[in-house]
Amino acid sequence: MTENAPLFLVIDDDEAMRDSCSQILTRNRWRVETAEDGTAGIAKIRDLRPDVVIVDLKMPGLSGFEVLKRLPEIDPGIVAVVITGYATIDSAVEAMKAGAFDFLPKPFTPEEMRFVLGRALDRRRLVLETEALRREKKVLEENFITMVSHQLRSPLVAIQQYFEVILAGIAGAPDARWADMIRKAGDRVRGLLRLVNDWLDLARIDEGRLVGSFQPFDLTALLNRLIGFLSPSAHEAGVSLGWAEALPPGPARVLGEEESLEQVFANILGNAIKFNRPEGKVEVRLTAEPGWTVVEIRDTGIGIAPENLPRLFEQFFQAAPREGGVRKGSGLGLAIAKKIVEAHHGRIDVSSERGVGTAFTVRLPAAAGESVG
């Protein structure tokens, strides 16, 4: 018998049963410990962390059912096998519903016990392998963020900077014949950087690291700032951008992480401009519902086909561009926006009519005592 041999714990108030089980187990070169009742058994489970627990259902004091209920709190990977008399088969079935892997009806032969415990060990190995794979996946995900940040993002930033230096004429006036090619290559590099940054955002959200600590802030001021920032782009596209009302609404304080929510509304407003029509409109409305601050962004753009609406927030999904246009972007913007809003315990909805326009509605929990004026 080696230290690497599986460890079994037999919990039974019948000394003869404990001895019989111990003999069967040791003959199979398995390690074995025993406990005379449920309380002692729980103590040994905490201390020894056995691979398999063999527990009698009917014991004075802490019953086998109570032991089963406490097992997941100690180690959810421990496999439990219950021992029961013929008169308590129904109880054994209930025990399996409570988490037991299998049961041994009394009386049982050594061969029957070895067979059931062999299956229990197979289950234990599967549980341990699954946990090891889960840990390995987590390490890979963490390493992915580091790899993307340093081994992909950094070289792309460097290439972009070299292009800017060349086009600025710092290394000499660029030849007109290849300056245009450098500009196009720079556009592709910027596109790759946006994709890499979106990947990083998704990875951070999944780890709960994108949204930082929540603080009260004025959502009206954030939206005002974005409207001002995006107005030149809207003007260039022939689209009017502004508040739906004649005057901006009063302060609307919400509890959240301002930078990540700015990313949400910048993405929605940017799409509303990009997928609009000449002389179209993008209107922002800020209202209050009980417990919520509601932002509606409505455009008069090309709209979204009904069959595409359910997939709009899927990662990498991109609806068809306007006629004659090409798809741009990573297809991650709205997926990221949805995750950010949900991390704020809010909700984002969309309605659209092809050829008429689209409306996004974002509901965020209002800061206590705050309302839109």
pLDDT in tens, 214-232: 888 999 999 999 999 999 9
pLDDT in tens, 201-213: 666 666 665 555 7
Q: How far is CA 7 from the centre of its chain?
A: 36
Enter the pTM of the model: 0.53
pLDDT in tens, 317-361: 666 554 444 445 556 788 888 988 998 899 999 999 888 999 999
Tokens 């997928």: give the residue. Answer: 275
Which residues have CB under 8 Å from 229's CB, separation 6+? 266
Count of H helices and E strands in the chain? 10, 12
Q: Taking a C-beta distance cutoff of 8 angstroms, is the pair 301, 277 a contact? A: yes
Retrieve residue 104's tokens.
Answer: 């041994």
pLDDT in tens, 163-176: 887 777 776 776 77
Instruction: Evaluate the omega torsion of the peptide bond into residue 60 and state whether it is cis, within 30 degrees of 0.
Output: no
Q: Taking a C-beta distance cutoff of 8 angstroms, is the pair 286, 173 a contact? A: no
Tokens 């089963």: give the residue. Answer: 68
Strands 240-243 and 215-218: unpaired
Averaged pLDDT score across all residues of the chain: 84
Nearest to 36 by CA among 8, 55, 23: 55
Q: What is the pLDDT of residue 362?
A: 96
Strands 79-85 and 240-243: unpaired
Q: What is the pLDDT of residue 15?
A: 92
| Vertex 64: Cα angle to 12 and 89 (nearest 5) | 95
CA distance 69 to 201: 40
